[in-house]
Amino acid sequence: MSNFPDEKAGSGLPPPNQACSFKINTYAHPNKVTGRFVRLFAASCIALVLFVGGRVLFQFRDLAPDAKYGELCPQADVLVPEKNGKLWDIVTDKFGTDSFKAQAVEWLGGAVRVPTESYDNMDVVGKDPRWEAFGPFHDYLLGAFPLVHSTLKLSKVNTYGLFYEWKGSNASLKPILLAAHQDVVPVVPTTVDKWTHPPYSGHFDGEKLWGRGSSDDKSGLIGILAAIESLLDNSFQPTRTVVLAFGFDEEASGTQGAGSLAPALEAVYGKDGFAFIVDEGSGFAEQHGSVFATPGIAEKGSIDVRIEVSAPGGHSSIPPRHTSIGMLAALLVQYEENPYKVFLGRRDPFYTTLQCVAEYAKALPSHFRKTIKKSVHSKKALEALQGLVLENPNYKSLVGTTQAIDLIQGGVKSNALPEQAWAVVNHRISVSSSVGEVRAHDTKLLKSLASKFNLTYNAFGSRISEEGASSSGSLTLSDAFHLGLEPAPVTPTGKDAAPYQLLSGTIKATYNSHRSLVGRDTINVAPGMMSGNTDTRYYWDLSSHIFRYNHHNSGKNSNALGGIHTVNEFIEIDSFLEMIRFFATLILNADESRSL
Which residues are identified as catalytic?
183, 250
Q: Where would I find the beta strands (DSSP E) of 258-295?
A: 277-287, 290-293
As to burial, measured by CB atoms within 10 angstroms (0-12 exposed, 13-18 middle, 19+ buried), residue 83 is: exposed
139 assigned to a ligand binding site: no
Alpha carbon of residue 151 to chain centroid: 32
427 assigned to a ligand binding site: no
Distance between CA atoms of 77 and 589, rounded to whole angstroms?
13
Distance between CA atoms of 318 and 220, rounded to whole angstroms?
59
Alpha carbon of residue 294 to chain centroid: 7
Q: DSSP alpha helices (H): ranges in 270-413? A: 324-336, 349-360, 366-374, 379-390, 393-399
The full 3-state SS of 470-496, as one line of letters, equals CCCEEEEEEECCCCCECCCCCCCCCCC
Whether residue 496 is preceded by a cis peptide bond, meaning omega within 30 degrees of 0, is no
**Nearest CA among 240, 260, 241 for reference residue 249:** 260
Interhelix angle 573-592/498-515, nearest 10 degrees: 140
β partners of residue 209 = 204, 571
CA angle, corner 586, sides to 509 and 488, nearest 5? 110
Distance between CA atoms of 206 and 192, rounded to whole angstroms?
22
**Nearest CA among 3, 300, 309, 251 for reference residue 134:** 251
565 assigned to a ligand binding site: yes
578 assigned to a ligand binding site: no
b/e map 487-523, b = 16+ CB within 10 Å: bbebbebeeebbbbbbbbbbbbbbbbbbeeeeeeeeb
DSSP symbol at 173:
S
Single-letter code of the amino acid located at 274 = F
**C-alpha dist (Å) from residue 316 to 325, 427, 472:** 13, 34, 17
Distance between CA atoms of 112 and 569, rounded to whole angstroms?
11
Please provide residue 314's backbone torsions phi and psi, each rounded to the nearest 5 degrees. Answer: 145, -175
Helix or strand run (H / E) with residue 112: helix 98-112
Evaluated on CA atoms 110, 114, 117, 123, the torsion sign reads negative
251 assigned to a ligand binding site: yes
Who contacts 46 (Cβ-Cβ below 8 Å, separation ≥6)?
A: none
Long-range contacts of 11-18 (CB under 8 A, 24+ apart): 13/52, 13/55, 13/56, 14/52, 15/52, 15/56, 16/49, 16/52, 16/53, 16/56
Cβ proximity of 107 and 95 under 8 Å: no
Backbone dihedral region for residue 244 (phi beyond 0: left; psi -120 to 50: alpha; all else: beta): beta
Binding site residues, as ranges? 181, 216, 251, 279, 565
Binding site residues for Zn(2+), as ranges? 181, 216, 251, 279, 565
